[in-house]
Every structure is written in structure tokens, then in C-alpha cells.
Structure 1
Amino acid sequence: MKSLKNNIRRYTWLLLLIFIPMLSVSAQESKGNGGVDVKNIVFGHIGDSYEWHITTWGETHISIPLPVIIMGNNGEWHMFLSSEFHHSPTAKYEGFYIAKEGQYEGKIVEKDATGAEIRPIDLSITKTAFAIIFNSVLLCIMILSVSCWSKRNPNQAPKGFVGFMELFIMDINDNVIKACIGKGYERYAPYLLTAFFFIFFNNLMGLIPIFPGGANVTGNIAITFTLAFFTFLITNLFATKEYWKEIFWPEVPMALKPIMIPIEIVGIITKPFALMIRLFANMMAGHSVILSLVCLVFITAAMGPVMNGSMTVVSVFFGIFMNLMELLVAYIQAYVFTMLSAVFIGLSKVEPHHAN
């Protein structure tokens, strides 16, 4: 019981340490305009950018500039740090600038001969791209260290972190991948395990509000689209003939075939589409709710000390509750994506039906 109380106390302090920087960031962003722009704060944190904003100290914005790699309309490549936009009095560098409004808002643009804004070929290392690289390298170090330990100590039972990771990996491999795919699951286990830990680790890093965490990687639809697209390719490229037969010539009465064939074809697309939207919507919504709860503290500041004090307690309480929920959701979403991907792959391995 004493150990349980100590663990609860440690986790409570950890959540407070995670939550307090969120309060300070929102407080800094609420200064200067006499109010809180909730939309700007929420979408500013969950959106992508060309720099990694740390905090604002007085009038000074503390950010980490990221590399900008673009090819202009004239075919020339340009490489520089995003801080160059802030050093220029016109917020332009070599003819490029970040659009403040319009269809390219928040993106690097230039003007053509007619004066219209156009997008260059943009291969810049944005906040999301940097987070993917950083988190992937960190994840590889963790997994490879576990693998190296197991190779060096083949006859020794793992303990501590190595034992936990081995248990974690075997649980997903045996109870999800093997159970859903069945025979020949080993061929697909590397991809599915990679997808699970990539999603799970990025979900966890996204809950940390300060550098190097806080990037909304799995709440970016381009990332979830890519993951779902890989599942789509693996499912359909390695499918059996019986799988395609059930799609283009299902075993139903002839009168129903004109109806069933289009439905089956649409189902090929809707399965990965559901994977993409489910992960994207859940992770983006979780970040948005937590940030909105934080903003309540500053929205109610003008309503008097009684209202502000009571709403601050409510906001912090529900913010910690949502952080706990997001820890659970971080695992559930990775688990669900891996399980459904394994199910779709398993369904594509269907064998011919033999009559008894």
C-alpha cells in the first residue's frame, strides 16, 4: 500500500510538471493583446511550423530555427535557417516569405511576375519533420539497445527496462499480429511492430509540452495517410487470388453481383481511409481539448478573482484528467491501428473454400 501511494504521488507530480509549462506558455501568449486567442493558441500548437517555439520571455520569442530547403520559381535551390525571416525588417529573405493569410497561410511563398503568391518546391525540415526524425532516432536507439542486450545475454532472463520492452514486443507480436494474421504472420510482423511503436512513441512525445516533445506528429493527416497507405499497399500487393475473386466475383446470386462488386471495390479504399481518419482525429482532438482547458484559466481572468480562481482549479483538474486519458489513448490508438492493419492483412490471405 505504501508503495502504491508513493507511485501515485510521483505520477501526480510528473503530471503537474507536464501541465505547468502548458500554463506558462498560454500565459505568455495571452499577454500583449489583452485577451486570449484560443483558436490561435490551439492551432498554433497542433499545427506545423518552420521553427520550434519554446516560450516567450517578455517581448522575446525563444525558438529553435529549422532548415529551410526550397526551390524557387526560377529553378534555383535555396538553403537557410528560418530565423532569416525574423532578421529581415520586411520578413522576407531572398524573395521568400511566410504567408500571413490566404490559401497558403503559414507556408513559404514567393511572388510570380504577375504579383500573385505561388508556392515553391518546399523540402524544409519543419517542426513535424524534425520531430519524426528525432523521435525515430530515439526509438531506434531504445529498440536496438534491447536487441543488443538480448544477443549478448541469450541465456539470461531480462530485467528492468529490457524485460519490460521484451514483454511489450512479445505481447503485440503474439496476441495481436499472430492472432489476427495466423499462418505466415512472420512476414508482416516487422512492419506492424514498427507501425505500433512509431505511433505509440510519437503519441507519448506529443504529450510533453516542452522541447523536444509537443509536436503533433500523429495528429498530422499527412503522417496518418502515409501509415494507412503502407497498410493499403501491403494488404493488396500480397493478397491471394481468392481475395481478389471475392472482390470482383463474390459468391452471391447473379442478380446481386452488380451491387456487391462496387461495394467490395469501395471497401478496398474505405478500410485504410478509416485507419487514417481514426488516428488523425483522435490525436488532434486530444491535444485540442487539453489546450482549450488550459486557456480557460486566462479566459476567466477578466471575470474576477472568484470566477478565475474556481475555473483555474477546474481547468487544472480536468487538464490532468485529460493528460491521463491521453496516456491511455496513446496506447489504444497505436494498438487499434496495428490490430486493424493485421486484420486487413489477415483477410487478404484468405484461402479457397473447399466443400466438405
Structure 2
Amino acid sequence: MKQRFYIILCSVLLLSSLALPAQAAAAPAENGGEDLNVKEMILEHLADAYEWHIVSWKNKHVAISLPVILYSENSGWNVFMSSQFHHGHSEYRGFSIAAEGKYAGKIVEKDAAGNDIRPWDFSLTKNALSLIISSLLLLLIIMSVARSLKRNPMEGKKGFVGLMEMFILSINEDIIKPAVGKDHARYAPYLLTVFFFIFTNNILGLVPIFPGGANVTGNIAVTMILALCTFFIINLTGTKEYYKDIFWPDVPTWLKVPIPLMPAIELIGLFTKPFALMIRLFANIMAGHSIVLGLTAIIFVTVKLGTTINVSMTVVSVLFTVFINLVELLVAYIQAYVFTMLSAVFIGMARMEPHKVD
């Protein structure tokens, strides 16, 4: 088991140190040897896309084309593959991928005045496909583990099943039970699903080759939906005592009337909790990916400074990239753990019981 773990870990680090420089090298090659724009390179790799770019080599692109599904008020429904755009350099059926402006990276069309407008876009993008892949992978893993545990529930499990059992018990016993309280079994399925969903996508985001490399949990739309799920569960299952503590908290009356100062603060707190969940996960994952790409870019930024400096900085870049990837493996777990823990704490706060007077 240990040998397999070390082999997988070394493979991830090797792929990270090799594939990321190869992707970053695509920009100078496409620009005919021009200086690498680090900011644009990082933002391009972090952004969503209509194709899944694999590698670029000698001005040739290897990418997985994804279906584009659009509804235009001018031409109705349009369904075609993203390869028709030729990596964003061509127009097809009046649609194109905007290179700049507020719609940069998105599909646009021209209106009667020649301005860019957005059609209704239902396309399967890179992040959307990654979400489907990670969800199917998670279902496969959890169902296989559940089947194994159901077959021999009293038998001690080894290998991957034993590892998953340890994870599940750890999250349930150390986070869910203490934070939620007596109703923990009611919320355990959701909280366990959130933990493994975030952790799986965090790990896949560190793998630079298909089906990894998508910036799913570094996309604020994804973290917003996860935070909203927790928000609705908290407030739809909250007790009467929870709402009483919001609208009529146990504080001096002058803090509640005639100016409802404390109720206003408590009401604002309803929205700051999911907002904190959303921003914390988004910012940490986005920052981690940006640091890795920034360190990789050092290799190409120092090309014109001479061979000696470039070689030395390449060694530094690779060493720091590997180190940050190791840190990111830890962060992938910590961010899933923190999101689940805070969600459990907020749910537990909403399940408060009436205060007993001795």
C-alpha cells in the first residue's frame, strides 16, 4: 500500500513539473518568440474554455473539442463542436470567441449596430465536463466502497477501501457529530458528499493532463453554488430558537427597539456565512494554481537573461513548483475539511434548542 501511494505521489509531481512548463511554453511559441505575458498566460489557464487543451507543440494544438449549444434571437438554436472556432481564431455561423473586452473568452455575436452581444449559452465547457467526470468518479468510488463494506461489515478492510473507510469515519466522528449534535445523521450524507466532492475536484485540478487540470473549485460560480446549498440547508431546517435568536436576540431591549441594531447584525450574519464559505474556497484554490503557473513562468521570463541565469532559474522554478505542488496536495484536503467543518458548525448553530433554566 505504501509503495503504491509513493508511486502515485511521485507520478503526480513528475507530471506537474513536466506538463505545466510544456503548457506555459505554448504562449511564446504562438507569438513567434515574443515575450511571455505572464498575467495573460495565468488568466488563460485559470479561465473556463470551450475545448479541453491537452498540449501545444511546434504551433500545433492537441485539444478535445466540446459541444457548443447556443440560442440566438437571430438564428435560433445552434449546435456544433468547438473545433469550428479553430482554437478561437475563426468565426462560425456568425459566432466567435471574444478575444478582449467584458466578454473575453466567451462566445459572442454581432447585433445590428455591430456590437458584441451574448447569445444564450448552454455549451458544455471544460469546467462543466470536469464536474461531470469528477461526479461520476466519486459515484464509482463511493458505490464500490459501500458495496464492499456491505458485503462484510464486520471484517476489517485493507487497501483503498480501508483508506476510504478511515476518511469517512474521520469526517463523521471528528466533524459532523460534534458540530451538528443529535441530528448529525440527518445531515451526514450532505456534509460527506460536500467533503469528497471538493476534495476530488481539488486533486483533479492538480493533475495537469486530462481528465485533470480544470480549475473547478477555483471557479467562483462553483463555490457559490456549494455555499448556497449550505445556506438553504441552514435556513430551511433551522429551529424556532434559531430564528428567535436572530429577530429577538437575548440582549438588552435598547439594542432591539426602537432601532433593531442586533437583529440587523444577526440578519446580515445569515449572508456573511455562505459568503465566507464561497470566497475562502475560491481564493485558496485560485491562489494555489496561480502560484504554480507563476513559478513555471520564471523559466520563460529569464530566457533572454543568458544561459547561466536561465538554467539556474529553471532549477529553482522546478524545485519550487514541486514544493508548491506538495503544499497544494495538503491544501486540497484542508480546504475540503474547512468547508465541511464550517458548514457543520453553521448547521449546528441553526439546530439550537430552547435554553433550559435550572
TM-score (norm 2): 0.94
Distance in 2 (alpha carbons) for counterparts of 1:85 and 1:272: 38
The equivalent residue for 1:38 is: 38
Compared CA separation, residues 117 and 11, structure 1 to 2 (3 A): closer
Superposed, which structure 2 residues align to 1:1-356 within 5 Å?
Answer: 11-12=9-10, 14-31=12-29, 32-74=32-74, 76-86=76-86, 91-257=90-256, 258-356=260-358
How far residue 8 of structure 1 moved from its aligned partner, in angstroms, is 6.4
Compared CA separation, residues 9 and 128, structure 1 to 2 (3 A): closer
- Deviation sequence 1:281-333 (CA, Å, 0-9, x none): 00000000000000001111110112112111111111111000000000000
- One-letter amino acid of the structure 2 residue matched with residue 46 of structure 1: L
Distance in 1 (alpha carbons) for counterparts of 2:3 and 2:142: 31
Unmatched runs of 5 consecutive residues or more in structure 2: none
Distance in 2 (alpha carbons) for counterparts of 1:91 and 1:51: 14
- Deviation sequence 1:135-192 (CA, Å, 0-9, x none): 1101111111111112222342211111110111111011111110010111111111
How far residue 10 of structure 1 moved from its aligned partner, in angstroms, is 7.4
Q: Assess if the C-alpha contact under 8 Å between 1:236 and 1:348 holds in 2.
A: yes
Compared CA separation, residues 345 and 6, structure 1 to 2 (3 A): closer
How far residue 205 of structure 1 moved from its aligned partner, in angstroms, is 0.3
Q: Assess if the C-alpha contact under 8 Å between 2:15 and 2:207 holds in 1.
A: no
How far residue 201 of structure 1 moved from its aligned partner, in angstroms, is 0.4
How far residue 241 of structure 1 moved from its aligned partner, in angstroms, is 0.5
How far residue 27 of structure 1 moved from its aligned partner, in angstroms, is 2.0
Q: Taking every aligned residue pair, what percent have the same amino acid on both sides?
A: 56
SS in 2 for 1:71: strand
Distance in 2 (alpha carbons) for counterparts of 1:193 and 1:276: 18
Distance in 2 (alpha carbons) for counterparts of 1:330 and 1:7: 17
Distance in 2 (alpha carbons) for counterparts of 1:189 and 1:262: 31
Distance in 1 (alpha carbons) for counterparts of 2:221 and 2:237: 24
How far residue 55 of structure 1 moved from its aligned partner, in angstroms, is 1.0
SS in 2 for 1:24: helix
How far residue 11 of structure 1 moved from its aligned partner, in angstroms, is 4.1
How far residue 6 of structure 1 moved from its aligned partner, in angstroms, is 10
Q: Assess if the C-alpha contact under 8 Å between 1:29 and 1:56 holds in 2.
A: no
With 290-299 and 4-13 compared, the bigger mean Cα shift is at 4-13
- Deviation sequence 1:225-261 (CA, Å, 0-9, x none): 0000000000000000110011001111111122211
CA RMSD of aligned residues (A): 1.9
Compared CA separation, residues 184 and 87, structure 1 to 2 (3 A): closer
Unmatched runs of 5 consecutive residues or more in structure 1: none
Q: Assess if the C-alpha contact under 8 Å between 2:15 and 2:208 holds in 1.
A: no
Distance in 1 (alpha carbons) for counterparts of 2:5 and 2:156: 26
- One-letter amino acid of the structure 1 residue matched with residue 186 of structure 2: R
How far residue 114 of structure 1 moved from its aligned partner, in angstroms, is 2.3
Q: Assess if the C-alpha contact under 8 Å between 2:48 and 2:127 holds in 1.
A: yes
- One-letter amino acid of the structure 2 residue matched with residue 127 of structure 1: K
How far residue 34 of structure 1 moved from its aligned partner, in angstroms, is 2.5
Compared CA separation, residues 116 and 199, structure 1 to 2 (3 A): same
Distance in 1 (alpha carbons) for counterparts of 2:73 and 2:216: 30
How far residue 7 of structure 1 moved from its aligned partner, in angstroms, is 7.4
Compared CA separation, residues 73 and 153, structure 1 to 2 (3 A): same
Distance in 1 (alpha carbons) for counterparts of 2:188 and 2:75: 43
- One-letter amino acid of the structure 2 residue matched with residue 109 of structure 1: V
Distance in 2 (alpha carbons) for counterparts of 1:194 and 1:66: 28
- One-letter amino acid of the structure 2 residue matched with residue 329 of structure 1: V
With 38-47 and 119-128 compared, the bigger mean Cα shift is at 38-47
Distance in 1 (alpha carbons) for counterparts of 2:128 and 2:6: 35
Q: Assess if the C-alpha contact under 8 Å between 2:26 and 2:56 holds in 1.
A: yes
How far residue 111 of structure 1 moved from its aligned partner, in angstroms, is 1.6
Distance in 2 (alpha carbons) for counterparts of 1:70 and 1:249: 49
Q: Assess if the C-alpha contact under 8 Å between 2:56 and 2:62 holds in 1.
A: yes
